[in-house]
Amino acid sequence: MGFYDSLGVRRVVNASTTFTALGGSLMPPEVLDAMREAAGSFVDMEELHLAAGRGIAELTRNEAAYVTSGCAAALVLAVMGCRAGGDPRLIARLPEGTGLPAEVVVHAAHRIPYDPVLGLAGARVRQIGNALQTFEWELEAALTADTAAVLYVAGRHLARGALPLPTVVRIARERGVPVLVDAAAQLPPVENLWHFTTGLGADLVAFSGGKALHGPQASGLLLGRADLVEAARRNGAPFQRPARPMKAGKEEIAGLYAAVRRYVGLDHDAVARGWEATLAYWAGELAGLPGVAVERDPFNEAGQPVPRLRVDVDPRAAAADAAAVLDRLRGGDPAIAVLPAEDPVTGTVSGFWLGPDLLAEGEAEIVAAALRRLLG
Ligand SMILES: *Cc1c(COP(=O)(O)O)cnc(C)c1O
């Protein structure tokens, strides 16, 4: 009996996206092999962190890299690094950080559910602009001696009201304030691993290891300026400092290293052709079902170029309404997760999206069969 079966926990077929609540992503064999091998010996963790960081920096065309226990942990460690630098006497003051800069400037358009993690670094959000617009003078006025960093959240799915990243970089750099980009789910394209930092001049960027990189779910990456990456590292494990709970183990470090190496070497065009084939298959299977309309959406929910199939269900003509379909998919065994499409004003679920990028062998067929059963 398998592990999940032995606990009575249902497996989930993930036609949704890389949600942490569903397990992030699945690790390919080379990542699992790296974790298993790393688990077989003790190692000097500082030596491992530094060597893996050098390797990942080279693979991602960044000055430096550090493996964390997730993108959120990377944000906390980055802000701690921006506040205290690498000096153990200043790190010892965290998280309160008396006398250290405490504000992180964030566009209103970039307020996201992960903001509260900045508080773990003892920092406060200083919000600028509104959902629709931000002026350069607002950023200039917000940058003071108490500013630790600017947090810039990347992705075309966000509100449009933020200043462009190059403008933020120019203004912040004039005042010596680091710019930290949250790009947790901003892959593909693979170029984003270096685009925000090496390309656009941000000081640091954070990615999730357990999303598009297909690394361990509890892993993340901090990339960018060597002095700031080093400052972040000195705040983390193995040191007994406030960020100790955000520990990446040797297995996560090995797994993420292997995942990054795999990701930068992937034939991304071939991967994309596979996604298109899955969408075409689904569109064919759903064609002709009464009250069901499908359309290709070129972007995923994080605004990245991972195509999805948008399925709209007309409750007057279809065998079931969209909300009922979603309930039955989630209630099945295996459960099937898809992303609901809601009317933003009424909240009515009118359909859903099917994502092709996280399916194991044979799972596209499981999704199609379930939908034909519920809507046929
Ligand atoms: C997923 C996500 C995070 C958190 O990433 P973890 O790797 O789960 O810690 C942070 N910011 C954004 C924008 C995200 O999408």
3-state secondary structure 76-105: HHHHHHHHHCCCHHHHCCCCCCCCCCCEEE
Q: In what order do the strands lie in the sheet with 64-68?
A: 64-68, 220-224, 204-208, 179-182, 147-153, 103-107, 124-128
How many structural domains does the chain have?
Answer: 2
The pLDDT assigned to 157 comes to 82
Q: Is 236 in the pocket of ligand 1 (CB under 6 A)?
A: no
The pLDDT assigned to 253 comes to 98
Q: Is 206 in the pocket of ligand 1 (CB under 6 A)?
A: no
Atom of ligand 1 nearest to the CA of 183: 13
The pLDDT assigned to 174 comes to 98
Q: Is 185 in the pocket of ligand 1 (CB under 6 A)?
A: yes
**Are 110 and 150 part of one and the same domain?**
yes
Compute, in angstroms, the gap from residue 121 CA to the centroid of ligand 1: 16
**Are 111 and 258 part of one and the same domain?**
yes
Give the residue-averaged pLDDT of 75-92.
96
Whole-angstrom distance, CA of residue 338 vs CA of residue 16: 4
Q: Is 180 in the pocket of ligand 1 (CB under 6 A)?
A: no
Atom of ligand 1 nearest to the CA of 207: 7
Of the three residues 211, 237, 264, the one that is the final residue of a domain is: 264
Compute, in angstroms, the gap from residue 72 CA to the centroid of ligand 1: 6
Of the three residues 230, 264, 298, the one that is the final residue of a domain is: 264
Q: Is 20 in the pocket of ligand 1 (CB under 6 A)?
A: yes
Q: Is 25 in the pocket of ligand 1 (CB under 6 A)?
A: no
Q: Which helix (H) or strand (E) holds 335?
A: strand 335-337
Lowest mean pLDDT among 28-32, 210-214, 346-350: 346-350
Q: In what order do the strands lie in the sheet with 349-354?
A: 292-297, 308-313, 349-354, 339-342
Compute, in angstroms, the gap from residue 208 CA to the centroid of ligand 1: 6
- Structural domain contains residue 31: no
- Facing residues of 339 across strands? 353
Whole-angstrom distance, CA of residue 304 vs CA of residue 360: 21
- Structural domain contains residue 328: yes
**Are 310 and 349 part of one and the same domain?**
yes
- Structural domain contains residue 239: yes
The pLDDT assigned to 99 comes to 96
Question: CA-CA distances (angstroms) from residue 369 to 63, 326, 332, 373?
Answer: 48, 14, 12, 6
**Are 251 and 310 part of one and the same domain?**
no
- How long, in residues, is the chain? 376
Q: Is 184 in the pocket of ligand 1 (CB under 6 A)?
A: yes
CATH number of domain containing 344: 3.90.1150.180
- Structural domain contains residue 37: no
**What are 283-290's contacts with CB under 8 Å, separation 24+?**
283/309, 285/368, 285/371, 285/372, 286/311, 286/368, 286/371, 286/372, 286/375, 289/318, 289/319, 289/371, 289/372, 289/375, 289/376, 290/317, 290/318, 290/319, 290/375
**Are 147 and 252 part of one and the same domain?**
yes
Q: What is the pLDDT of residues 256-274, one digit of tens each?
A: 999 999 999 999 999 999 9
Range of the domain at 326: 3-20+267-375
Split at pLDDT 50, 70, 90, the class of 160 is confident
- Structural domain contains residue 65: yes
Inform me whether the pLDDT recorded for 159 exceeds 80: no
Phi, psi of 103 (to 5 degrees): -100, 140
- Facing residues of 106 across strands? 127, 151
311: helix, strand or coil: strand
Q: What is the pLDDT of residues 178-224, one digit of tens each?
A: 999 999 999 999 999 999 999 999 999 999 999 999 999 999 999 99
CATH number of domain containing 119: 3.40.640.10
**Are 56 and 160 part of one and the same domain?**
yes
The pLDDT assigned to 10 comes to 97
**Are 67 and 184 part of one and the same domain?**
yes
Q: Is 112 in the pocket of ligand 1 (CB under 6 A)?
A: yes
Mean pLDDT of the chain: 97
The pLDDT assigned to 155 comes to 87
Whole-angstrom distance, CA of residue 224 vs CA of residue 55: 13
Inform me whether the pLDDT recorded for 295 exceeds 80: yes
DSSP readout, 111-131? --TTGGGGGGGT-EEEEES-S
Inform me whether the pLDDT recorded for 158 exceeds 90: no
The pLDDT assigned to 72 comes to 98
**Are 237 and 273 part of one and the same domain?**
no
Q: Is 19 in the pocket of ligand 1 (CB under 6 A)?
A: no
Inform me whether the pLDDT recorded for 315 exceeds 90: yes
**Are 275 and 197 part of one and the same domain?**
no
> How many CB atoms are closer than 10 A to CB 115?
17
What residue type is assigned to position 106 of the chain? V
The pLDDT assigned to 110 comes to 96
Q: H-type helices in 217-303, by residue range?
A: 226-235, 250-265, 268-286
What residue type is assigned to position 65 of the chain? A
- Structural domain contains residue 25: no
Give the residue-averaged pLDDT of 105-118.
96
Of the three residues 213, 241, 264, the one that is the final residue of a domain is: 264
